[in-house]
Structure 1
Amino acid sequence: MDILEAQDVTHAATGDRTAFYRLLHRAGVFPPDAPSTIRAFTAGQGQLSVAEMIDRYEIACKPVRDLLVDNLCERQPALDYTSLSAVSRVLGSLFWRNLETHHPGINSLRLPAEVASAWKTRHRTKTTTTRSPDGSTVSVTSPRESARSDLATVRAFYLDLAQWAAEDPAHWGPWAAPSPVTSAEANQKKHQRRVKAKIDQRTRERLPALPLLVSASQRNRLQAAAVLAAARQAEPGTVFSVDGQTLFRPVLKSASGAKIWAQELEAPRTAVRAARRDLTHEDHTAFWAWAAIEVLRHTGIRIEELCELSHHSLIQYRLPTTGELVPLLQIAPSKTDQERLILVTPELADVLSRIMMRVRDSNGIVASVAAYDPHERVWNPPMPLLFQHRIGIENRAMHPTCLLKYLGQALASAGLTDASGEPLTMQPHDFRRIFITDAVMNRMPPHIAQLVAGHRVIDTTMGYLAVYPREVIEAHRAFIARRRATRPGEEYRTPTDEEWDSFLGHFERRKLSIGTCDRAFSTPCTHEHACLRCAMLRPDPAERPRLVEIRDNLIDRIAEAKREGWLGEVEGLETSLAGAEDKLAQMDAATARTATAVDLGMPGFTQIAGRASDT
């Protein structure tokens, strides 16, 4: 039997045109290093080389093309495949290919000021083509959200060349040139603050909705399982009831495998197939939506880490002091290339046990499946993954897009809405932010949360933290309570009538002949009521004639004291005279400020409120 015959036979038996490859692989027809699934031969999969990444953009200047290839090859060991591909797109397409399109024949990285300015202006926006309802294409120009980070990538490219030129002048020296992007243009602090504020608000809005989503997903799972179980007990062509629903299980003309179908009793029995409900799929969707929500909210792991959880991820640790076994969940290296361990709570243990019971075969074994990594564009070796489902005769790993679809259906069934009244949406990463925020709010030390989340630096963990304003208020009130506890209690007792009258009388005694005393309540007068010498006296410009009279009187008294030989009084009178001159200067300054002030007037209603009227 050749390959085509095997394909026809297996397709007729299973309905899956790719089942023949798996059967032949199990039979040992292929060599040991052959992929376990025929999907590994799908076109477009596999990593591109650095040269292939750059050649996607058809750069005309070969020396610059070779330079970009060399630069990326130099940086390749420190970057994962996704980051390397993103950098190649910025440098190859958004930067140099854009320059060649608008400046044909350009062949130097030393850009004139007008060329660099024009490129940065073009890069701030992007044009997308959409199709209007009438079928015509429309070009829409919008701001480019990644513009500032792209500028930072171009600046890093120039700085790398300058540094490498000092180390290897022969190779990199001819390409060293001033960067067309300044440090201020590449600074992303302001943009990052805006993004964090937006994400924090998103987290605060979804955190209260999480318990409702959990309850709804649990209810959907139990209800879908109950309906499926009742349908399996019912014979085809009969009516059955469960959870207030009355359904009819139709008689199918052709076999449908392991699927169980049903339709509403009110629908005609000859209704088209599209009106039927696939109860097997409903149970499948409800279960995996519940499983994904529970694992994500109890662990705070990334969605790619969730899809890579396997039977081998469950390990045990025996405490050396008590000998107690502690269940742990081992998270495989993903984004940070660091594995970590997460404590399995009883709730999480229940979820994981239900998942394993569902994916085990009749022999109690979790099948090993090969999963495709869309970020690294490689096939991982077969593993007993927990998040897998059966398609045809093949077990396949669940893709993040599939779980995202199930999550959207769970949100829709829960009927949750956001602040604007629109249906609430959640991404898998929202559960990670909620997990970190909830952990720190419940007094988990941030450096421990960093280790649990798998962040390299604690600043990343703090960026995920969205503390509620009420937490700040409560912490501040607790601080005030602690401070009051350390101060004398009599300071916070109810004042007596005499004390209250004394407090009010203080403000009555502030009025003086030439101004107002700004001395605080219950503080002594440092100048023994010699107000001219006191800095706390705020002079009133309206009392300037009185102060002038006092100043002239002081001058006469000083002259009399000197004439009579009363030298002991001269020094005190001169101090009072200096205070009077200072207060006169303050009055004149206040009068000058008032004279130069511009009266804007009181705006009318038509100036502060826009309104439309018919002529």
Structure 2
Amino acid sequence: MTTTVLTAPAKAPRKLAGAEAAALLEKFPPRERAASWPMTEADSEYILDTLQQPPFRVKRNAQVTRMVGARIILSWLQTFPGSTWQACWDASPAAHSPSGWHRDVIDWAANVGRKPTTACLASGTLALICVDAIRPTLAWLAASTSGALRPAIAATRDPDGFARLEAQFPEDIRSTRHASAGLQGVSRLIAAFGGLVKDIVVGDLLALLQATDYDAARGVRIAYTALRDLGQFPPDAPATLLRLQTRAGQVTPAALVDRYELRCRPVRDLLVDYLTERQPSLDHNSLITLSSALANNFWADLERHNEGISSLHLPAEVAAAWKARVNVVTRRRRMPDGQVVETTTPRSSAPAVKTLVRAFYLDIAQWALDEPARWGPWAAPCPITEADCSDKKTKQRQKTTSDQRTRERLPVLPALIRVADRRLKEARARLDALHTAPLGSRFTVLGETYTAPKSTSRAGLTGQAYDTSGRRRDLEAEEKRAFWGWATIEILRHTGIRIEELLELGHHSIIRYKLPSTGEFVPLLQIAPSKTDQERLLLVTPELADVLSAVVTRVRGKNGAIPSVPSYDLHEKVWNDPMPLLYQWSISGERRPISHNTVRDALNDVLLATGLTDATGNPLKFQPHDFRRIFITDAILNGLPPHIAQVIAGHSNINTTMGYNAVYPAKAIEAHRAFIARRRSLRPREEYRAVTSEEWQEFLTQFERRKLALGSCGRAYGTDCVHEHACVRCPVLIVDPYERGRLVEIRDNLNDRIAEAEREGWLGEVEGLSVSRDAAEEKIAQLDARQKKKDSPIFLGVPSFSQIAVRTSSATNAT
């Protein structure tokens, strides 16, 4: 990993979020805002007279205020150019300043001797909107926080339409703020576009959704669902507006490539043409991945590092440099001092990117034979070899990591199941206690004391309470998450299905099968086609049947049927038709499918409650796919044939199934144990007696006694030193390379002592010291030879050209 300090981060590609909203607005445009209509063309006296008549007339005091405000605003609007009141409104500052325009009117009124208040002007504006004299824009209406618009528009414009719409809302949310927000949104549409509730089109609500904030968007979605259920929209209208601001939908290949702003137009057109050709055989998510690899990782990278490049025929050095860059990924992080630190790490997806680029080259070369005019000019040698795309090491690492995860999580699965069941029971006990407690009262459950709210706007029972610290807890949401966490763990561990298959389970997935041998009916779970586009049937065990029964009971409506809800296909980026999905819940009366993130969050809540940790001491994490690996491992471990496990798991290749299997190699382990047993049987039995504590302590301390100043002693265990600890002379001394300097000092000291002995005539000393010196020099030579061997290349026995060029042959020419 390398780190570099940069001055600024690189430019990011354009986002796809919101592309679906733009496409829907193009398909379902909002109504055109009319330039003129009868009431905006009427004179001021007629408008003021109309405000005096039902249904515009209100109570006496409020009516006086309303009339004063309306009269002043009409007089003020006459000072602006325009042949209608709407034209005058559009020309006034009020049309462009939703919050500060009252000051302009007050200043003007002061010049004519009037002193209206802001509340008076607001009341007059509301009256003019209700009588349809002016129609502010959606942005202007959305910026207003007044709650008076909804009841006023409902009473004066279309009381029957509002009553019919409100009756379509779910009964348990009609008195909530979300239902009120939905009616408020419809009121804004009528105020901005005119007409009645029945005149609202899909584009109106799409435009309103873009003009509202996040909190009010839920009300807009509720109103859209109610109007759609009333049959007001065409059949091809979107099933829901959920997450419309962030969804990308299906984007054209041109839009996918243009995210990266390629400079070479011919190559850009080629990539768009190639993606269009591949589009029918790919799901949309794969198409996005392919466009990112070709346009971003490949060509955009080449353009950044090779100015003016315009050909797929890459020089060798350009191709080599690109492959080196694609093998790493660069991440940027801003430091506290403002600098941007660039960190480079290996890219795990590098083999996949190179495989896609290689396929791009090979496809063009093949297509050039069939359509030379179209693809022939772009055919070029592929700069990526098959060896460059090898992902064997990556797969081996993934297999090792996957097996380790399975072996680490399989033993703790019972604890996870127990905690999930306990959390569900505790969450239900808290919620039941809240439902039985009167509003505003204190209640105790599971040793915990809570206070129920004093009031609730919901029709039915409240789901929130306050603990002893005053913190508000949503006990209903906690029970929901506990239930779906428990259900997810149980279903995944009994079936081993994928998370996308889990979320696509519907009421029709539970079927019966009659055994031909006994005539007995057994329940089966039908798994819809997902990754392999092959459906399969799984036997429902009694434990799994209890879980499915609990889920069906929970999501079933008051009429006994499971509501049909639309679900989003993450691979195709489209909404599926409404289906009776098992994984659904109601949020503020809005039926939604449960998302992938919700399932993962529910699992994390259960894991956090278990207190389990991994080998590093960090909290243990489960992914939904871990249950699939555990299911296959446990099945094969308990004797299920691998080819049957392949069918149950829905794998098209048995090698994929065995890749999920993390069972230890039983045959190898048993054979190794048998070999050890045979070898032990050939040795004396007394060698396998129990070791005494004294023998074990002696065995341990023996290694400590081997440590020497120059290294360590290599004599056998249980033997004495034959050189009487003259270690320099000993041939079994293992010299530490870091102690070479000490050994050189010993040798030099021996040379000095030998010289002294020769001067003094101590010939006996000279002989002994010479033996020690020779042994020291020999060990120094061994250290140097060992280091030289490490630093030099290894000769593999292949002769070089210089070794064979001088050879001659004795053979003669037959000619």
Q: Distance in 1 between matches of 2:266 and 2:515?
A: 62
| Maintained 8 Å contact 1:315/1:327 | yes
* Secondary structure at 2:564 match in 1: coil
- AA partner of residue 395 (structure 1): R
* Secondary structure at 1:141 match in 2: strand
Equivalent positions of 1:81-92 (< 5 A) are 81-92=284-295
- 1:34 to 2:237 alignment: yes
- AA partner of residue 457 (structure 1): N
* Other-structure match for 1:53: 256
| Maintained 8 Å contact 1:14/1:393 | no
- 1:411 to 2:614 alignment: no
- 1:108 to 2:311 alignment: yes
Change (3 A) 1:254 1:221: closer
* Other-structure match for 1:248: 450
CA distances 1:279-300 after superposition (whole Å, capped 9, x unpaired): 1111111000001111111111
292-301 vs 251-260, greater mean Cα deviation: 251-260
* Other-structure match for 1:284: 480
* Secondary structure at 1:39 match in 2: coil
Please state how far the C-alpha of 1:478 moved relative to its aligned partner: 9.3
- AA partner of residue 300 (structure 1): G
* Secondary structure at 2:600 match in 1: helix
| Maintained 8 Å contact 2:439/2:455 | no
| Maintained 8 Å contact 2:239/2:566 | yes
Q: Distance in 2 between matches of 1:316 and 1:478?
A: 48
Instruction: Tell me the TM-score normalized by structure 2.
Output: 0.56
* Other-structure match for 2:332: 129
* Secondary structure at 2:562 match in 1: coil
* Secondary structure at 1:361 match in 2: coil
User: Aligned residue pairs: how many?
Assistant: 491
Equivalent positions of 1:131-530 (< 5 A) are 131-132=334-335, 137-243=340-446, 245-255=447-457, 258-265=461-468, 267=469, 271=470, 275-468=471-664, 471-472=666-667, 475-476=670-671
* Other-structure match for 1:612: none
Q: Distance in 1 between matches of 2:498 and 2:329?
A: 30
| Maintained 8 Å contact 2:285/2:570 | no
Runs of 5+ consecutive residues of structure 1 not aligned to the other structure: 485-490, 498-598, 609-615
* Secondary structure at 1:104 match in 2: coil
Q: Distance in 1 between matches of 2:649 and 2:180?
A: 43
* Other-structure match for 1:25: 228
Change (3 A) 1:113 1:492: closer
Q: Distance in 2 between matches of 1:231 and 1:320?
A: 51
- AA partner of residue 248 (structure 1): Y
Please state how far the C-alpha of 1:600 moved relative to its aligned partner: 10
* Other-structure match for 2:736: 604
Q: Distance in 2 between matches of 1:44 and 1:153?
A: 26
CA distances 1:378-430 after superposition (whole Å, capped 9, x unpaired): 00000010010101121100010111111111100111111111100111111
* Secondary structure at 2:734 match in 1: coil
- 1:93 to 2:296 alignment: yes
Please state how far the C-alpha of 1:604 moved relative to its aligned partner: 3.3
- AA partner of residue 360 (structure 1): R
Change (3 A) 1:315 1:129: same
Over the aligned positions, Cα root-mean-square deviation in angstroms equals 3.1
- AA partner of residue 594 (structure 2): M
Change (3 A) 1:44 1:206: same
Q: Distance in 1 between matches of 2:588 and 2:253?
A: 38
Q: Distance in 1 between matches of 2:524 and 2:393?
A: 40
Q: Distance in 1 between matches of 2:342 and 2:455?
A: 50
| Maintained 8 Å contact 1:259/1:279 | no
Q: Distance in 2 between matches of 1:182 and 1:197?
A: 27
Please state how far the C-alpha of 1:187 moved relative to its aligned partner: 1.1
Please state how far the C-alpha of 1:33 moved relative to its aligned partner: 3.2
Q: Distance in 1 between matches of 2:498 and 2:604?
A: 17
- AA partner of residue 736 (structure 2): G
- AA partner of residue 623 (structure 2): Q
Change (3 A) 1:51 1:433: same
- AA partner of residue 209 (structure 1): V
* Secondary structure at 1:602 match in 2: strand
- AA partner of residue 283 (structure 1): E
Change (3 A) 1:435 1:495: closer
- 1:66 to 2:278 alignment: no
347-356 vs 452-461, greater mean Cα deviation: 452-461
Please state how far the C-alpha of 1:145 moved relative to its aligned partner: 1.5
Instruction: Tell me the TM-score normalized by structure 1.
Output: 0.74
Equivalent positions of 1:502-581 (< 5 A) are none
- AA partner of residue 322 (structure 1): T
| Maintained 8 Å contact 2:456/2:462 | no
| Maintained 8 Å contact 1:72/1:88 | yes
Percent sequence identity over matched residues? 51
Please state how far the C-alpha of 1:73 moved relative to its aligned partner: 2.7
CA distances 1:220-275 after superposition (whole Å, capped 9, x unpaired): 011111121122112233333333x231223335535644223334x3xxx3xxx1
Q: Distance in 1 between matches of 2:735 and 2:492?
A: 57
Q: Distance in 2 between matches of 1:449 and 1:480?
A: 32
* Secondary structure at 1:304 match in 2: helix
Change (3 A) 1:134 1:366: farther
Q: Distance in 1 between matches of 2:178 and 2:586?
A: 18
